[in-house]
Amino acid sequence: MGRSGIILAAIALIIAGCLSAISMAVEDDKTVIGIDFGTSSCRVGFYKDGHVEIIPNDLGNRTTPSWVAFTEDSSSSESPLIGEAAKNQVALNAERTVFDVKRLIGRSFEEKEVQSVMKVAPYKIVKKDRKPCIRIEFKDGESKVFSPEEISAMILTKTKETAEAFIGKKITDAVVPVPSYFGDEQRQAILDACLIAGLNDVTIIDEHMAVAYAYGLHDEEEPVKNILVVDVGDGGTLDVSVLETEYGLLDYLAKNHLGGEDYNQRIMEHFIKLIKNKYGKDVSKDNRALVKLSIEAERTKRALSRRHEVCVELFEHVFQTVTFEELNNDLIMGLVKKAIEEAPRLEKHQIDDIIVVGGSSNVPKVQKLLRDYFDGKLEPKMIVNPAEAVAIGAAVAGHLVIKQRASHSMC
């Protein structure tokens, strides 16, 4: 090789080194946020200096309601109200206030979950291209139809802007956990909503995997460990899974889900039984009564995610107090037992840890039920704030994404 060839080769190496350094610097400067896009509320966090920070919104709250509201004068050029601002005005503007959109996203119009939402939602849900969409009526007869992805994107945009204001730079990357029972269409719909919100590089992971990251199970050095995850969420969903960790590798052994529609049915059955036992009336074949009880079941489910007991109007101005425990005891433990039974070659005594998460997991009775089931030998872990575990795990996963990119850049 001549002198000029050697010089060119040296220059090429210098350029390659500089490009690699620039690439690594860009990756080091990247921030991947973790977003817990929940049915009832959202949380966002990021990994910094060895720990996760949950980012407060502009009101100083660590959680933002997953609510969107349009005013009568709203036009395409005006921004809707998001979060607390939307939720606080629902009494005066119910038909233009949208919530529970996660229960609609990625579903077909005919699905039971969609029909369940339609029974009680104050806003109008219409069919468009076989999908549920939200129609908002404005003044002078003007109306506009929004897809669940578009409404979700409004919430995600607010969450993204909250993170950008706190961190001080533009954010385009995120990790967004979804329930393990979400199918391909629902996962794709979440990705579409993220893209509309300006999140161009999004990693989807299962919520219980995020919980495992939050508890550092990906760093475990033990050969095999079986973890029971019990997720008692807001909005009436119950998820139970059994995870196996082996030297930090995570895998599902079993997972069970009780959705909003199933939860409603359980509450209705409880009401029907109450009426029959206490008042001697069998309303199980009375369609009018069943519609009334269906609406009360949805209202009760919501109320019990916020407080311990609810006063319910069963029929003909007859009221009954219903507690969280009496509706959930058999549901939670039924799912726990089923998950353990379905986990291959696993028995109850082989569960090493219990992790309890979700907005309703702080109810003492839930923790007692689990302790009693395991004969007092296992204590439910709640080291991480159970309401924030998914967001924390998503932020940890975001940090791992950055590390992985950096290692690829070095190669």
Active site residues: 36, 102, 207, 231
By C-alpha distance, which of 361, 336, 330 is closest to 348?
336
Q: Cα-Cα-Cα-Cα dihedral of 186, 190, 193, 197, to 10°?
A: 180
Question: Per the structure block, which two tokens stand in for 243?
Answer: 């995870």
What three-state secondary structure class fits 357? strand
How far apart CA 185 and CA 129 sit, in angstroms, is 14
By C-alpha distance, which of 268, 274, 325 is closest to 299?
268
How far apart CA 259 and CA 237 sit, in angstroms, is 5
Answer for the pair 160, 171: CB distance below 8 angstroms, yes or no: yes
How far apart CA 32 and CA 198 sit, in angstroms, is 13
DSSP code per residue over 191-249: HHHHHHTT--EEEEEEHHHHHHHHTTGGG--SS-EEEEEEEE-TTS-EEEEEEEEETTE
Sole residue written with tokens 């001549």: 2
Sole residue written with tokens 């009018």: 288
How far apart CA 17 and CA 81 sit, in angstroms, is 49
Answer for the pair 180, 208: CB distance below 8 angstroms, yes or no: yes
Answer for the pair 36, 44: CB distance below 8 angstroms, yes or no: yes
249 DSSP β-pair partners:
246
> 361 exposed, middle or buried (CB, 10 Å; 0-12, 13-18, 19+)?
buried
CA 338 to chain centre: 23
How far apart CA 367 and CA 361 sit, in angstroms, is 8
**Element (DSSP H or E) covering residue 59:** none
By C-alpha distance, which of 173, 133, 137, 126 is closest to 149?
133
